[in-house]
Amino acid sequence: MAIDFLLLQRYPTVSVPRFRHYEWRGPACTFGYSQKIDFVRAHLPAPETFDLCRRPTGGGIVDHRTDWTYALVIPRGHELYDARAALSYRIVHECLAAALVALGQPAEVKSQSASLPDEGGALAGSGQPLIDIAQPGVCFQRAELYDVVQASGGVKIAGAAQKRNKHGLLFQGSIEKGSLGLIDWDLFSEKFTTGIARALGATAQRTPWPELHEDEVMGLTEQYAAVEWTESR
């Protein structure tokens, strides 16, 4: 979580999007920036002990034991940075669903819902229909607008949350592997990133990590690991 946020703060000085996939060292749960810690603790899966971290983005509780986790950073100035949260959410998830379908998985983007994805902030714009906004709960318990779901039955496969600030847009996403059949995840990653790059008007290519300051990395990592951050609400 700390590295995702640091990429948002530092990397957008380079005017191209950056994508990364990462795994977890052990059982872990993350939860949305605005969620109350008492609610989170009451809804954690039992009986395992989890690494627990508050994300910089919105959304609900995500159990990372069997998921495929990724982050996308879009720099300020890109047209998707200026788009509404619902549009960026839909575009990324359309790319994700297309990659799954290409690998024989019956996936689609949910096109109807009573609520919009949470971005940890107010909705922009005026003159739009009034929308009922559900409070963030447990991420994979139900599908919201533009989540990726099974084409038959509507079971949620993938969700995400966003944070937009003066530097750019951070998109943190999770795919629940248990909702899918057998997949070559390396091939999925290639198809997903290629699709996102095409949607963003770019070309996917492996690139070295930016030269992040060690003290800055350590400081932010310690902040995100601290009890004060986790229990700040």
In this structure, of 41-55, 73-87, 120-134, the range with the lowest mean pLDDT score is 120-134
Helix 214-225 to helix 2-10 angle (10° resolution) is: 140
Going by pLDDT thresholds of 50, 70 and 90, the confidence category of residue 69 is very high
SS3 185: helix
* Amino acid identity, position 181: G
More confident residue, 136 or 175: 175
In this structure, of 43-57, 68-82, 97-111, the range with the lowest mean pLDDT score is 43-57
Domain boundaries, the chain: 2-230
Bond prior to 47 in cis (omega within 30° of 0)? yes
Long-range CB contact pairs, 186-193, < 8 A, 24+ = 187/103, 188/68, 188/99, 188/100, 188/103, 189/21, 191/98, 191/99, 191/102, 191/103, 192/70, 192/95, 192/96, 192/99, 193/19
Distance CA 2, CA 220 (A): 6
What pTM was estimated for this model as a whole? 0.83
In the prediction, which pLDDT does 191 show? 97
SS3 5: helix
In contact, 63 and 45? CB cutoff 8 Å? yes
Quick one: average pLDDT of 24-35?
90
Distance CA 233, CA 230 (A): 8
**Percent above pLDDT 70 for the chain:** 85
Q: What is the pLDDT of residues 177-189, one digit of tens each?
A: 989 999 999 999 9
Distance CA 68, CA 232 (A): 27
Burial of 152 (0-12, 13-18, 19+ CB in 10 A): exposed
More confident residue, 107 or 217: 107
Quick one: average pLDDT of 17-46?
89
Structure tokens at 36: 């109350």
CATH fold for domain 2-230: BirA Bifunctional Protein; domain 2 (3.30.930)
Dihedral angle of Cα 203, 209, 213, 219, to the nearest 10 degrees = 90
Quick one: average pLDDT of 147-163?
92
DSSP 75: E
In the prediction, which pLDDT does 11 show? 67
Q: What is the pLDDT of residues 101-149, one digit of tens each?
A: 999 999 999 987 654 444 443 333 334 433 333 455 666 667 889 999 9
In the prediction, which pLDDT does 207 show? 84
Q: Which of 146, 88, 86 is nearest to 112 (CA)?
A: 146
Residue 108, φ and ψ in degrees, nearest 5: -155, 165
